[in-house]
Amino acid sequence: MCGIAGFINNIDNSNAVLGKMLNRIRHRGPDAEGEYIDENIALGHRRLSIIDISSSGDQPIFNEDKSVVTVFNGEIYNYKSIREKLISAGHRFTTNTDTEVLVHGYEEYGTDILNMLRGMFSFVIWDKNKKQLFGARDFFGIKPMYYAIMGKTLMFGSEIKCFLEHPHFKKELNTQALENYLTFQYSPTRDTFFRNVYKLMPAHYFIYKDGKMTVKRYWDVKFSADEKPELDEWVKRISETFHDSVNAHKIADVEVGSFLSSGVDSSYVAAIADVDKTFTVGFGTDEKYNEIGWAKNFSKAIGKENTSKVITPEEYWGNLEKIQYHMDEPLADPSAVALYFVCNIASEKLKVVLSGEGADEIFGGYNVYSDPDGTLYDKLPRPIKRGIGSIAEKLPAHRGVNFFVRKGKDVEERFIGNAYMFTPEQRKEILCIETDAPDPTEITKPYFSRVKNQDDVTKMQYLDLHLWMMGDILLKADKMSMANSLELRVPFLDKEVMALAEKIPTRYRVTHDKKTSETKYITKYAMRLAAKQDTPEQTADTAAKKKLGFPVPIRVWLREEKYYNLVKTAFESDISQKFFNTAPLVKLLDDHKNGKADNSRKIWTVFTFLIWYRVYFENNGSY
């Protein structure tokens, strides 16, 4: 696991600028630094040595005549089989790293090498003869890639913060991203919070030649249910495929550990990975916010060592600036801070850890997926439900009222992902600036259109795989692990696992719980049955306990005087007044403190942005 940075366009002090850019991302790879600079390009690399840990694995890495050079961030789990094919084709290797298969694979197959890879990656390859830069990001977006074109300079790297060191970089806030963020709690499009800085989207590659950038998609999820196999067969296939993925993800020349919460995903990973160490964090003693006791008992049951930490409120709040600095863009997911701490305790003992991200999106695990057509109310004619929903929208927000509002809309109208913070009307009320941000449904529409003939569960999964997972789940996974110089691997997010999951019928992803007369659904049904074969029964029970995943008690803290006042000061600050109307923000805070409503997530969304803005625009990218 590593970090990359670089730029096209010769400047007088390329060496010094590249050195500063690499220093910004030193946390991604403290073991070694490498550079390649010629009259056209500067390529830099920071290395966290995992495979071929000798110096022969240092990057950049070249082909035989040094006409092709690459810097790479990630892991290619099937590199040995690709290497054998390339050697048979006449290519000569000088290292034992997975990186070198990219160089020779590009020579042999061009951009088609991407479809041969199994792993997580972002990389660039400079072809000196063609004067062409080829860059790519993995299938799910596990590893980040950002780029900016300013004047005649192309900058690229694993983190935006390295661009701050380039003399041609112009730092400006993208206010459209701010308005989108207020709804999604993350930046949902290729645009970032920095104007003219973009994400290379998952499963895309680019070619940059003669000042022109061409971006193309090379892979996509294709749900196509196979109705023939029975449930037992699907359970068998999931078990076999996932065991294979975990084994592939354990390839390393250093020790590998595993994160552990009380959910089935991380428990499944930890149980079959046969690692020696697991890691857990929690808050206080309330079981709603602390899974440490459960994790220790589970680790003992599978014969492993568990390391845990109770995060104090002071530690949590005291590290918010550091967290948003490492995030590059504001992310209003409170669990990101918990993830930072569990990465921190793991990094004290090893370099690589496995985690359960992706299982919910791939196998249908979120509770919201059990919502479609799950009640007698759903049997009513659509016009009646829409009419009732229209009336309900005019009433004060309440759990019962929200049910009718939700049921009165098609999934394409109401679902934007696992978080829906501020509606377009609400965000206009709190903002004192005008932007050209689109309606949230304009952002989700292209994704829904690709699965328009699928059922609602599949539509929601497809959207989450492309927006929520990239913008929230994988952003925090990469940035929080790399902030601690820790490689985080996600065996559920494997090309072979996805190829299997695409074919599982919806009824085996989300099914009705026949043990109860209530309208109750079981999510990740087939996967839970597969996990049950390898984990203690209470972990993989098909009616498993509610998913927590390092829960954070911000709802409680925001009602305490100390933290209420801290947030109120931020809401009334000069920074806040550049973007927000103070009165509605303070009302959100007061109503929450007085128990009139749970506004904790909306409050946190605005507060997080203000922290991030202070770090990058008031403190010039420092904390």
Identity of residue 479: K
Preceding omega of 60 cis (within 30 degrees of 0): yes
| Spatial contact of 305 and 257, defined as CB atoms under 8 Å apart | no
Identity of residue 358: G
| Spatial contact of 35 and 15, defined as CB atoms under 8 Å apart | yes
For 331, other C-beta atoms within 10 Å of its C-beta total 25
Distance CA(559)–CA(594), nearest Å, equals 8
Which residue in the list 2, 162, 343, 432 is annotated as catalytic? 2
Q: From the DSSP assignment, how many helices (H) and strands (E) are in the chain?
A: 28, 19
For 347, other C-beta atoms within 10 Å of its C-beta total 18
Distance between the two ends of the chain, CA-based, in angstroms?
Answer: 25
Q: What is the DSSP-derived secondary structure letter of residue 504?
A: S
Give phi and psi for 312, each to the nearest 5. -80, 155
Which residues of 433-582 form beta strands (DSSP E)? 487-489, 510-512, 521-523
Distance CA(474)–CA(211), nearest Å, equals 31
What are the angstrom distances between the C-alpha of 60 and each of 34, 47, 57, 482? 6, 10, 9, 20
| Spatial contact of 24 and 162, defined as CB atoms under 8 Å apart | yes
DSSP-assigned beta bridge partners for residue 280:
308
Note the residue count of the chain: 623
Distance CA(49)–CA(43), nearest Å, equals 18
When computed from its CA atoms, the radius of gyration of the chain, rounded to whole angstroms, is 24
Query: Taking the alpha carbons of 463, 465, 470, 474 in that order, is the dihedral positive or negative?
Result: positive
Q: Kindly give, in sequence order, each residue whose CB lies less than 8 Å from that of residue 620, ignoring residues fewer than 6 positions away.
A: 164
Distance CA(377)–CA(591), nearest Å, equals 32
Residue 432 known to be catalytic? no
Distance CA(348)–CA(277), nearest Å, equals 12
Instruction: Establish how many alpha carbons lie within 13 A of residue 257's alpha carbon, considering only the half-sphere containing its beta carbon.
Output: 24
Which residues are designated catalytic?
Answer: 2
